[in-house]
Chains A and B, each alone.
Chain A
């Protein structure tokens, strides 16, 4: 048996991937197929699934509504397309803000003395040690109308004898953006740091030698060579933000509903698993399409530095 394995390369391969394969088939492929089947079904009066085949859930998601004002049989209801669009723009904005914040930090770490880099990376990861929900509650404490920020501002205003009305920060799109950026920042810092750290120092010297000042060296050498890190980080940030619901639930409340919240509500509050399944699949399709075009253009963040 052992000898046979030793000789047979493809059997080795099968053996190596089989744990993951079993896991993936059991917990990803089969549930996905079930989701697909359910999404075609109907909701029964008591919230169970009636298995049938129809595209009504998808049609509803695209905005076709039958609950119209008097006289109309069919009309356009933008609520779900708005939610999808909101998720998409939020994912895009979060990714951009995360890159803008992560890049300088990663650059700073990569350029610091090697003996200090590990400490900095450790500090980047420290927030991940606490449960994420607890950290989002901390943001609620900060952003609330009677929260820390407003109290501080009120105190400052009082000091200068100015009138002060508390800022409405919690339950706004801005609060959700802050939460997302906060949650996913480390996932951008690490890949950018890795790609910056990999750049051979003699390339900077070569650029300087050939007459490039610091700015041009950054634009022509550092930035393109760290692009793989940004691409990898984008994949790691964009996809989870698209499906997130905890941050928007706690920091956005009823004001900022994302696809993630919509799906969650269909399964828990509205008790319509068929519509929830359809929404899940639309979300997945949307994410795949965006990532498909993105990686087509930039790769997965591995090859582009070379090819």
Chain B
């Protein structure tokens, strides 16, 4: 059976008995399909079940319920060494007593690849991670970034169908991390292997992924392309976790076609374009990104809300303005500093008008 999906999780549940004696669903009815050749990220805050999901695909944990398929084959109950996947561990897990060559060649040795071919493929793999000539080193004699690359080479040299990476850049400093992100991404394109990448860093996920699954408390909230996740978050949690979002709580007062009238009690009324149908009186949250709002002295087209500037934060490329409205709502507006020596648009205590178009916000109900 051929299948366009590299990995499928079908209604997977993993329950742990905690040391305190309780039962915890680390992964709670997760269903997702990961396409062949895709760079797929599992993104979510600490403890949301990313590692547990990855470990179930690798075979280190068995699902309590549900099925895991790799290229259409049910692997839910088979051992890790029988699965066509390889893992890059967060702490690298290089064998300290083996040289780089023995480490990278370990998987091939287990498959019975001859010594000659092994050493050729090890050199090739070292070339690929741009560390040629390191064969005889021990892991202790390498920097963190180099160990990271060796761990990657050790997994990739086996040409797995799926490569699993659990926060592989977590231990690196910011600059090296950024470099490695781009490198990993281009490496993935080059080898064409499906990557499943665990991270809690939303920027990292946005930069690298073809698609992202945003997880929270063991549930996959939204699985989509980075642009879609950012522009059209499905829930408040996703909107908040990916980038920054202003949430303005309100009540639906009417809908004509696709235009929804939302009353923000005490603050004003806004009109939002939405493809969904809302009932009158329904509670909703207007979610707007800070960069999609502007700070003005006068009313302009679209939605306008009058408020008072409470905070001005200069961060180089942008200036952030914290604005409080009469009804107690708050918003943060991001203005780019486009011209040289640009003056602040407002100072603390000023009255100002926050404007945004009808299409920029999302109306969220959960």
Contact = CB atoms under 8 A, between A and B. Distances in A.
Interface of A: 200, 202-203, 205-213, 216, 220-221, 224-225, 304-307
Instruction: Give the residue among B97, B106, B110, B155 with the most A Cβ atoms within 10 A.
Output: B97
A305 B97 contact: yes
A209 B87 contact: yes
B106 A207 contact: yes
Interface stretch (B88-96, B260-268, B292-300, B354-362): B88-96
Contact of B97 (A205, A212, A213, A224): A224
B311 to A, nearest CB: 45
Instruction: Give the residue among B60, B89, B110 with the most A Cβ atoms within 10 A.
Output: B110
Nearest to A212: B110
Contact of A202 (B85, B86, B93, B106): B93
A153 B27 CA distance: 59
B93 A210 contact: no
B81 A209 contact: yes
Ranked 9 nearest A-B pairs via Cβ: A210-B107, A211-B110, A202-B93, A206-B93, A208-B80, A211-B81, A209-B87, A224-B97, A208-B81
B191 interface: no
B28 interface: no
B93 A200 contact: yes
Instruction: Give the residue among A206, A224, A306 with the most B Cβ atoms within 10 A.
Output: A206
Contacts of A220: 95, 106
Interface string B100-118: 0000001100110000000
Contacts of A202: 89, 91, 93
B158 interface: yes
A224 B138 CA distance: 15
Contact of A305 (B91, B96, B158): B96
Nearest to A211: B110
A205 B81 contact: no
Given A202-B91, A203-B95, A210 B79 contact: no
Contacts of A221: 95
B178 interface: no
A307 B79 CA distance: 32
B5 to A, nearest CB: 21
Contacts of B94: 206
A225 B96 contact: yes
B140 interface: yes
A206 B58 CA distance: 10
A210 B96 contact: no
Contacts, number: 65
The contact size tier of chain B is 20 to 34
A8 B273 CA distance: 77
8 contacts: A200-B93, A205-B58, A207-B95, A210-B110, A210-B158, A224-B97, A225-B96, A306-B140
A306 B97 CA distance: 6
B138 A307 contact: yes
B364 to A, nearest CB: 39
A224 B111 CA distance: 21
A153 to B, nearest CB: 46
A210 B86 contact: yes
B111 A206 contact: no
A305 B111 CA distance: 25
A205 B110 contact: no
B154 interface: yes
Contacts of B155: 209
Nearest to B112: A211
A142 B138 CA distance: 52
Nearest to A204: B93
Contact of A209 (B80, B91, B138): B80
Contact of B60 (A205, A212, A305, A307): A205
B97 A225 contact: yes
A83 to B, nearest CB: 40
B290 to A, nearest CB: 40
A220 B81 CA distance: 15
B122 to A, nearest CB: 13
Interface string B64-102: 000000000000000111000111010101111100000
B1 to A, nearest CB: 24
A304 B97 CA distance: 8
B89 A206 contact: yes
B107 A211 contact: yes
Given A202-B91, A206-B89, A213 B96 contact: no
Contacts of A211: 81, 107, 110-111, 158
A306 B137 CA distance: 11
Contacts of B138: 306-307
